[in-house]
A and B are shown apart, each in its own frame.
Chain A
Amino acid sequence: MKREQVTIDGNEAAAFVSYKTNEVVAIYPITPSSPMGEYADERASLGEKNIWGMTPLVREMQSEGGAAGTIHGALQTGALTATFTASQGLLLMIPNMFKIAGELTSTVFHIAARSVATHALSIFGDHSDVMAARSAGWAMLFANSVQEVMDFALISQAATLKSRVPFLHIFDGFRTSHEVMKIEKLTDDDIRALIETETVRAHRQRALTPDRPVMRGTAQNPDVFFQSRERANSFYLQTPEIVQQVMDKFALAVDRRYRLFDYIGAVDADRVIVMMGSGCETVEETVRHLNSEGEKAGLVKVRLYRPFSVAHLLAAIPKTARVIAALDRTKEPGSAGEPLYQDVITAVSESVMNGNSPFTAMPRVIGGRYGLASKEFTPAMVKGIFDEMKRDAPKNHFTVGIRDDVTHTSIDYDSDFILEASDTVRAVFWGLGADGTVSANKNSIKIIGEKTDNYAQGYFVYDSKKAGAVTISHLRFGPRPIRSACLIQQANFVAVHQFDFLEKYDALELAEEGATFLLNCPYPVTEVWDRLPRSVQEQIIAKRLKLYAINAYAVAKENGMGARINTIMQTCFFAISGVLPREEAIAKIKESIEKTYGKRGAAIVRQNFQAVDAALSHLYEIPVPSKVTSQFDIASGVPRDAPDFVKNITCSILSGKGDQLPVSAMPVDGTYPTDTARWEKRNIAQEVPVWESDLCIQCGKCVYVCPHSTIRAKIYNQSALTDAPANFKHMPAKWRELTDHLYTIQVAVEDCTGCRLCVEVCPAKDKSQVSRKAINMREQRPIREQERENWEYFLRLPEISKSGPLKFNTVKNVQFLQPLFEFSGACAGCGETPYIRLLTQLFGDRAVIANATGCSSIYGGNLPTTPYTINREGRGPAWSNSLFEDNAEFGLGMRLALDHQRAFARELVHRHRDQIGRALADQLLSADQTTEQSIVAMRACVEALRAKVDGGKDTDIRDLMAVCDALVERSVWIVGGDGWAYDIGYGGLDHVLASGQNVNVLVLDTEVYSNTGGQASKATPLGAVAKFASGGKPNRKKDLGLTAMRYGDVYIAQVAMGANESQTIKAFLEAEAHKGPSMIIAYSQCIAHGIDMSKGMHHQKLAVDSGHWPLYRYNPQIAGEGKNPFQLDSNDPVIPLKDYIYTEGRYRILLHSDPSAAKLLLEHAEQSVRERWQAYKHLASSNAECGVGE
């Protein structure tokens, strides 16, 4: 039977089968499994049916814990139920998983396996999550490739129904979940053939029903619990056989045969690797090569890892095996060995002990770790392992793929050993995020996979930054099946879609001799060669590369496509690679354009068609001269004056050499220095703001809205201006308190993302030419050198003193406070980061920040560089991220620790009052710390204390020295997004707000899960479209502030800096000053709103003007003064709601996709806004006695 060939990724393969075979799906987004939930939700919203002709019910929950509970309930009540998750998400499901297994309930959880956060979070793939779930009693079936994902999704579904043991169906996060591969798609008939009706009926029969009432979930005592636990043994014992039966049945139906343990290699192998996951593909490829060279190497692919069938494993390993290496993609510190190693050694040892060993001689079993957090696992490493196994005493508990120069676990390998099939096209594309390179490559792979006989594979490497991100696409295709589950080692086609990359990265490193190099070059054909950096020219000559160039930007511009060069470069790729005849290729590209963009409108399709047609006439082969002519080279990227850590470690990571860092280079406990982002000069903006001092009114708005802290202001005495660069701009400062001072706005052009927010908010216009403002965008490159010098000079100018004459309660004055958060990796125009910057300006030198996982933890803490920084005294925010769900509690813990340290310090000061000196002790114990000046004074007192008693041998004094810093006021901030505050962390947040403790909560409310790609949260407004709410969110946004107000002692503010700058500053100052819990809910525009991000502040204003986002402050402090604690800071709505919401894609999209739903939801949303506004008005007009808190 010929089945449809599709080119899809692992997530889609799993979700396809799961959707077909389930009735209830409870989901929660987590990388890298989120696309599976999105797939299910999208299909359900389209009414697509499962194999029983019904549309599954798909529900997004508030956390994975919530999803697991829902699943448990649905299973108990007889529905076929599934979910998709990874990493911490799986860990949150574990309590329910024990129950589900204990109750012998059939279900499959599809896991895109990902690292569990330890010393750091990692979104990438390994098996540490599923290994942490081993004891829950679930079967574990590992798929190694996209095809196997589809196959095993079905096999696990059939097997769980038959065995009653729940299944984890596992595949490697990113490597398999996101790899696009040509596979054979199962048909509904295939699925029906495997899912036995009787088993489904039996599952439904076990449902709780009042018609046949039973109870499950009893509490048991010592007398019977143990026996009950053992009662299920037979089900586990039968499961391996059941899985094999299902696999055999699958083979009959689909003609792909799997075994519980599949053996590949020499029948008389002396060395055998045992492992599971995508790495098996690389090992298989290597084993076949080694076998062809006469090496007796073999591989056992573990399919069913739990229940672990010793008998089947031993049957799979050749009896000639002398050395067995069990490879684990996880680490269990302190264990006798990693899980698979322990299982293999147990199996082999037991067989010897039991006298039924199949082996000629007792083999040596060694264990090794590889591939943590998607660390590459290459044929070279595999050969290294087989070579190690040849040694008399091979290393046990080894690592491969890293250089461990501390405990020397790593084994060596020859990185020049490369297995790339010569008949496979291996193409590497360097692109810029959102320039369309990745989507074009996904299209190309689909075209090649589905329109030719070639096998095809695509894998995409993304950046750690969201703005100006680099993407690298790895495409393989050829006449034979592709197994390589690693990045391309040697490319015969390299395309660089952004010319600037050549100055930053060694993009040709992977190019093999004779490869083709396609370059998007903004220069005339005659200049291309001379514009290339020296080492690029050298490589082109040395490797005899064929060079093609096109000015794709010019072609895109001519066709009105801006920076979208995707279809142009794609056309060139097809033209040069020759994978299809040119005309046919163009027809296929157009077909795919029609498919991809057709529903976005005919104009887009037409535009792309024009670009395709125009591309080839602009493509040129560039003759390669025999000599290098260029006088410049790739930037070294190592600043001379950087700290050693930055020079030795950060710079290596920045230059793409992080893989080469040895173990000794790493901090032992995940502690990293802050103040590193400033060393990474990314130069990502084509245009940057330039200050025009003749127009400036010194309002500070541009500084206030800058998401990346790249635009700064200083006020300084004229005398400080010595040896300034010739072009350094300044003007007389207009502050009454500071006469004879100068004012400068300076832009860090190398750090700017070019978002334009500053230009949009600048109110000063040239009276003769209104388009010219006090800040205007100009091309960056011509002013780069000059502005670099100006910036460095600017940094050396004195910082404003917090204890000087200026009060920092206005935008005009706050602009001078040094941001202690700068140059983050956030998106250009990010709505969150200006609030964080403000926080650090006001309180950064004494802030401790607990940061929930999400966008703010990624741009805040994702290596290589971190944006939190320090002032001249070396003080700055101390920052940590615990988890997604526990951030409020995490921050409360910090508060408690600081409070205790402070109490202890006070006690010790009290105890040693005489030794310290009464006057100083009194100051330490009773000085006021409510103003910046008094905090500075307290720091001086603590320094005086140190000077006086440090070095004393008394235990108390030594303790005092350890905790005395806590005598200075600390500002604890709990920062996170709406996904955390409204959903997964709400229980904890609620508890912390109710605790009465002095913590400050900052909710960066983007009204959607931004970091995982725009899924709806309970903050998502009624009528907005988001993932999991594709028909428009049907219910109201939770009123988080109002809910918390009812405690009465919690300071709450709702702010939007784009609508009211000074209210935002007031809220931050009041929240921090409030001695109990406080919470600021900050409107934050986001890419997921579907807006022009440069207009973000305008959208904030519209949100307020329409009544969607009322501004208010609830200050319990003033309730004590007999005043109404609730103050409404925004006026009655002045524009209809639709005039706000239909400026945003998230709402507008529904106008197109479902106009009648949009109309209805608009009416509901208008009503909701009206009602809430009336309620707030009522609150604001009430007297204090009937305030919300009473």
Chain B
Amino acid sequence: MDMIARYMGFELKNPLVPSASPLSHSVDSIRRLEDAGAAAVVMYSLFEEQITLESFYIDYYLNHGTDSYAESLNYFPDMESYNIGPDDYLKLISRAKEKVDIPIIGSLNGISTGGWIDYAALIEDAGADALEMNVYYIPTNTFLTGEEVEYIYTDILREVKKIVSIPVAVKLSPYFSSLPNMARKLADAGADALVLFNRFYQPDLDLETLEVVPRLVLSNSNELRLPLSWVAILYGRVGVDLAITTGVHTFEDALKGLMAGASVVMMASELLKNGLGRISEILTEMERWMEEHEYAAVAQMTGSMSQINVAEPAAFERANYMKMLASYRS
């Protein structure tokens, strides 16, 4: 069975790629991903904001209460280094590159143009084969227009593309008024792939303490629908590779993703929940299904059920919605 997938110019041994998660926190873990059959690895995200906050945090407590009272002019020893910054992350990429053969895709989650440029270049220098840009922007300003928000994305991408020569994928949220148009703009700005979608941090409310609390919930297969629809709509229209990254838990999910038009499908929740062995299981099941259904290659099915290739393109549009409502009523 020809499982080869093509993503951002790489020829991958199959279309399964672990997405950014704690599974790539160590070289050992990355090796295990490769051994389990992963075709490439998206590294966990380097959070510019976290580095910045950590820097502010260290600065805060090193300064706090200092130079006030003559007996205690400071409270901490002067350390040689605090290693604030992406050093560990970069070292991990370099070491991972030495130990595995699959492509390593760096992942950067940033907030400022300056930070993007600095860290993107460092990730490339560390040896990453590609970069996934996770532009995590939650607009809360009611005066900010959609166009301005879109500009933030394309501006950052253009800047990054100027700096690095490795392929750059953009991980997107679904919250754009016109996602296809946004996809086009990103393609025009130089994106090599679009990854659909990132899962915004959605905090929870604690009814007892009346506090907003962080709560991480792993995805499930139901969440595949959203990226599936959009990949199907975008496939063949914007000229960049597509990847699905939410809700892929089973071989069926993976196959659907590919047929909708994804070059690769990415997984994290499933691997965190049920172990790395799921990669090979899903691959085996995919192959079995493909054999049963007489598919010869992954390439054959990629985009086969995208909007431009299905018999009823309207199924992805309003008509589909009407049909669903009707099915509820009956």
Residues of A within 8 A of B (CB): 31-32, 34-35, 38, 41-42, 45-46, 123, 174, 178, 431, 433-434, 436-439, 460, 462-467, 469, 471, 560, 564, 597, 599-604, 606, 765, 770, 827, 858, 1010-1014, 1025-1030, 1087-1088, 1090-1091, 1093, 1145-1146, 1148-1149, 1152-1153, 1155
Contacts and interface: CB of A to CB of B under 8 A. Distances in A.
Contacts of B310: none
Given A600-B82, A1149-B58, A1152-B54, 4 more contacts: A35-B73, A38-B77, A601-B54, A601-B82
Given A600-B55, A600-B59, A1153 B79 contact: yes
A463 B68 contact: yes
Nearest to B54: A601
A434 B68 CA distance: 6
Given A606-B114, A1149-B82, A1153-B80, A1014 B75 contact: yes
Contacts of B68: 433-434, 462-463, 466-467, 469, 471
B67 A599 contact: no
A467 to B, nearest CB: 8
A925 to B, nearest CB: 48
A31 B211 CA distance: 45
Nearest to B65: A1087
B64 to A, nearest CB: 6
Which of B51, B70, B118, B211 lies at the interface centre, i.e. has the most chain A CB atoms within 10 A of its CB? Answer: B70
Which of B84, B114, B211 lies at the interface centre, i.e. has the most chain A CB atoms within 10 A of its CB? Answer: B84
A959 to B, nearest CB: 44
A302 to B, nearest CB: 27
Nearest to B63: A434
Nearest to B74: A1013
A42 B77 contact: yes
Interface in B43-68: 51-52, 54-59, 61-68
B181 to A, nearest CB: 34
A1013 B65 CA distance: 10
Nearest to B62: A600
A1011 B59 CA distance: 21
B78 interface: yes
5 contacts: A434-B65, A464-B69, A599-B84, A601-B51, A1155-B83
Contacts, number: 161
Contacts of A603: 51-52, 55-56
A38 B52 CA distance: 29
Given A436-B63, A603-B55, A123 B71 contact: yes
B78 A42 contact: yes
Given A434-B66, A1087-B64, A1145 B82 contact: no
A466 B76 CA distance: 17
Contacts of B64: 434, 1087, 1090, 1093
A469 B69 CA distance: 7
A1012 B72 contact: yes
Contact of B77 (A434, A858, A1012, A1026): A1026
B58 A1145 contact: yes
A438 B67 contact: yes
Contact of B82 (A434, A460, A599, A1014): A599
Given A604-B59, A1155-B88, A462 B114 contact: no
Contacts of B61: 1090-1091, 1145
A159 B242 CA distance: 79
A462 B88 CA distance: 40
Interface of B: 51-52, 54-59, 61-85, 88, 114, 118, 210-211
Contacts of B76: 1014, 1025-1027, 1088, 1090, 1145-1146, 1149
A439 to B, nearest CB: 6
A597 B59 contact: yes
Contacts of A34: 71
A123 B52 CA distance: 39
B114 A1152 contact: no
Contacts of A439: 63, 66-67
B71 A1153 contact: no
Contacts of B80: 46, 599, 1153
A1012 B51 CA distance: 31
Contacts of A597: 59
A471 B82 CA distance: 28
Contacts of A433: 65-69
Given A434-B66, A1153-B80, A1013 B55 contact: no
Contacts of B59: 597, 600-601, 604
A10 to B, nearest CB: 14
A1010 B52 contact: no
Nearest to B49: A603
A158 B68 CA distance: 38
A858 B55 contact: no
Contact of B75 (A35, A602, A1088): A1088
A560 B60 CA distance: 12
Contacts of B84: 599-602, 1152
A464 B71 CA distance: 10
A1145 B67 contact: no
A863 to B, nearest CB: 14
B261 to A, nearest CB: 40
A1152 B75 CA distance: 17
Contact of A1012 (B63, B66, B71, B211): B71
A866 B142 CA distance: 53
Given A46-B80, A1013-B73, A770 B58 contact: no
B210 A602 contact: no
Given A45-B77, A1013-B74, A1155-B88, A434 B67 contact: yes
Contact of B70 (A31, A437, A1091): A31
The 4 closest A-B pairs by CB, nearest first: A601-B55, A433-B68, A601-B84, A1090-B61
Nearest to A465: B69
B62 A602 contact: no
A469 B68 CA distance: 5
A825 to B, nearest CB: 9
A466 B65 contact: yes
B58 A1152 contact: yes
A602 B84 CA distance: 8
A602 B83 CA distance: 11
Contacts of B73: 35, 438, 462, 1013
B55 A462 contact: no
Contact of B69 (A466, A765, A1029): A466
B67 A858 contact: no
Which of B63, B65, B211 lies at the interface centre, i.e. has the most chain A CB atoms within 10 A of its CB? Answer: B65
Contacts of A46: 80
Contacts of B70: 31-32, 123, 174, 178, 462
A1155 B79 CA distance: 13
A1011 B72 contact: yes
B214 to A, nearest CB: 13
B57 A1145 contact: yes
A565 to B, nearest CB: 12
Nearest to B68: A433
A1149 B83 contact: no
Contacts of A469: 68-69
Contacts of A1148: 57-58
A1014 B74 contact: yes
Nearest to B79: A1153
A463 B69 contact: yes
B85 A601 contact: yes
A469 to B, nearest CB: 4
Contacts of A606: 114
A32 B69 CA distance: 12
A20 B63 CA distance: 30
Contacts of B62: 600, 1145
Contacts of B54: 601, 1152
Contacts of A564: 63
Contacts of B57: 1145, 1148
A564 B63 CA distance: 9
A464 B83 CA distance: 36
